[in-house]
């Protein structure tokens, strides 16, 4: 069964460093999302992406964040200068399209900022 | 906000019993999805119910949706220890993103 994959599973970085989190959505899906979950808290929406552009973003998704689909398969989230409070689990999700489609989530990347 | 709010926050039952979790949300939706999350792991999609549906079944799962009350419920029948996890409802609004609540933490004791 097709699934969303994410790499790495765990990323440790120093404060101020740039990180790139990678996702491979399900191949025929057209809509892509990033969410994050700080330990013990809710899953929070960051950004949605369709047709090579951001379709919606939350207040969390400030200028330090960017997303890209550099080729036909990868979907990346870049944090330019990480802060301690960026430590969280980051989930990528994708869906086919249309109003009713399920969003399928990847296993997540645990980002630890020291 | 379309945020789903689950109730109860925690539920502890014996294996074989049924577990019912409730969800309320605030605005109109296109659909509502339920997810499961094992501790420290990813979100597993369980079921999607559309706004024009009232009930949906998938194996031991039964989901209901009452758009007039802006509420949904997830019933897990004949629970197993492996069902121990946190369960989230996620309403989906017109923009496509899902809004998660704090979830219900289900503990099924063998």
The nearest CA of chain A is from the CA of B97 a distance in Å of: 7
Q: Quick check: B96 and A44 CB within 8 A?
A: no
Chain segment A3-45, per-residue pLDDT in tens? 999 999 999 999 999 999 999 999 989 999 999 999 988 899 9
Q: Quick check: A105 and B35 CB within 8 A?
A: yes
* Burial grade of A96 (CB within 10 A; 0-12, 13-18, 19 or more): middle
Whether the CB of A105 is below 8 Å from some CB of chain B: the reply is: yes
The nearest CA of chain B is from the CA of A74 a distance in Å of: 19
Cβ atoms of residues B83 and B71 within 8 Å: no
Model confidence at B99: pLDDT above 70: yes
Query: What was the pLDDT predicted at A33?
Result: 96
Query: What was the pLDDT predicted at A97?
Result: 85
Whether the CB of B43 is below 8 Å from some CB of chain A: the reply is: yes
The total of other beta-carbon atoms located within 10 Å of residue A92's CB is 28
Query: What was the pLDDT predicted at B14?
Result: 97
Cβ atoms of residues A25 and A32 within 8 Å: yes
Whether the CB of A42 is below 8 Å from some CB of chain B: the reply is: yes
Q: Which of A76-80, B24-28, B30-34, B92-96 comes out lowest in average pLDDT?
A: B92-96
Distance CA A10, CA B94 (A): 33
């Amino acid at each position: 069964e097709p699934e969303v994959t994410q790499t790495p599973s765990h990323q440790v970085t120093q404060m101020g460093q740039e990180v790139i989190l990678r996702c491979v959505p399900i191949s025929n899906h057209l809509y892509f999302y990033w969410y994050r979950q700080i330990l013990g808290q809710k899953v929070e929406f960051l950004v949605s992406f369709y047709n090579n552009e951001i379709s919606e973003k939350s207040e969390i998704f400030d200028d330090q964040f960017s997303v890209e689909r550099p080729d036909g398969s990868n979907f990346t989230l870049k944090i330019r200068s990480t802060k301690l409070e960026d430590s969280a689990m980051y989930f990528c999700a994708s869906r086919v399209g249309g109003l009713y489609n399920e969003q399928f989530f990847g296993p997540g990347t645990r980002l630890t900022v020291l | 906000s379309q945020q789903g709010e689950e109730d109860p926050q925690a539920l502890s039952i014996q294996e074989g019993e049924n577990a019912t979790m409730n969800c309320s949300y605030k605005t109109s939706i296109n659909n509502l999805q339920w997810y499961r999350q094992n501790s420290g792991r990813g979100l597993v999609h369980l079921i999607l119910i559309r706004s024009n549906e009232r009930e949906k079944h998938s194996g031991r799962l039964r989901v209901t949706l009452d758009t007039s009350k802006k509420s949904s419920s997830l019933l897990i029948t004949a629970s197993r220890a492996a069902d121990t996890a946190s369960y989230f409802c996620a309403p989906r609004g017109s923009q496509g993103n899902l809004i998660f609540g704090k979830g219900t933490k289900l503990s099924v004791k063998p």
